[in-house]
Amino acid sequence: MHRAVLLFALAPVWAAEPTVHQITALAKEYFRDSAEVPMTVAVTTVVTDNAGKVKHRGESAVRMVFHGYNQSSGKFSLRANSGWFNIGALRDSMSGDITTFMAAAMIAPYKEQTRKVEIAGNSVLVSDAECPLIELSPRWPVPKQFCGTGKFLLTESEGGLMFDKFSFDSGGRAGPAKVTHFGEVQCRAFHADVEFQKAFLPGDPRPYLWPKQTTITVTTNHGKLTVTNRYSARQPK
C-alpha cells in the first residue's frame, strides 16, 4: 500500500491557527470562474538523459485564454493555440495549465472528498490512503490521476492572505508511459511547482489567482522531461 499526503504549509506563523473552513473559504474566493483572460505563455522544454546531459532544449511561445475555475462542476476550460511549427510547445505547455487547475481542485474540491484533512500548527494535511501506478495522459505530460504529496504556501498580501505557491510530488509505483523524446518508458515520478499571481478584472472588486509560472518534471527510466511556463496577460484586441 502506498500512502500519499497532500501538505498545504502556511507561512508565516500567525497568532490564530487557520481552520479547515477558513482555508476552504479562501480557496473558493481565489479559485473561481472569471471572464476570459488572454495570456501569452513562454514555454521552455528541456530533455536530459540519466547522466543529466541535455539532449534537447526548445523555447517557444503559445497563446492561451484563461477562464477561471468552475467550482460547481470541478471542471475547467481554456483555449490554447500556436503556429503549426509550435504544436510540440503547445502540447508541453498544457502540462502547466492542467497542473494549475488540479492544484485548485485539491484545495477547493467541488464535491465531498474522502481524503483526511488535518491542521497541525501552520500546516493543513490532506492524506490519501493509497495511490495507483503513475500513469500519464496520452495527450499531455501530466498524470491521469493527481495522487501524491502537495504543498500550498500562503503569504500576506494587501487585503489578507493569499495562496502564493504550490508544489506536488506523485505517489504510487512507476508505470508504463509514452513520453515525447523518449518513447516507451517507465514513468517513475511527476513533480510540479506552481507560482500564482494576484489580479483583478474590471468591475469585480474581488481578486483572482492566475498562474505566473509553472514547472513540471517527468522522471523516467531514460531521463527527465522538464517544461517551464511563464504566463503574462495580454490586452485583447
pLDDT at 158 over 80: no
Lowest mean pLDDT among 8-17, 31-40, 44-53, 109-118: 8-17
Sheet with strand 116-120: strands edge to edge = 4-9, 123-128, 116-120
Highest mean pLDDT among 129-133, 179-183, 185-189: 185-189
Give me the pLDDT at residue 30, please: 85
Residue 59: count of CB within 10 angstroms of its CB:
11
What pLDDT sits at residue 225? 97
CB 68 within 8 A of CB 39: no
User: pLDDT band at residue 57, thresholds of 50, 70 and 90?
Assistant: very high
**Inter-residue contact 45 to 227 (CB < 8 Å):** yes
* 110 class by beta-carbon count within 10 Å (0-12 exposed, 13-18 middle, 19+ buried): middle
pLDDT of 148 > 90? The answer is no
Task: Return the beta strands (E) in the chain as ranges.
Answer: 4-9, 33-49, 54-70, 75-81, 116-120, 123-128, 148-157, 160-170, 175-179, 183-201, 204-220, 223-233
List, for residues 87-125, the tens digit of each pLDDT value: 788 889 999 999 998 888 887 765 666 776 777 656 676
Residues 6 or more apart whose Cβ sits within 8 Å of residue 26:
154, 161, 162, 163
Whether the pLDDT of residue 13 is over 50: the answer is no
Domain residue extents for the chain: 4-233
Average predicted confidence (pLDDT) for the chain: 82
Which whole number is the average pLDDT over 37-45? Answer: 92
**Separation between Cα atoms, residue 228 and residue 237, nearest integer Å:** 27
DSSP-derived 3-state class of residue 107: helix
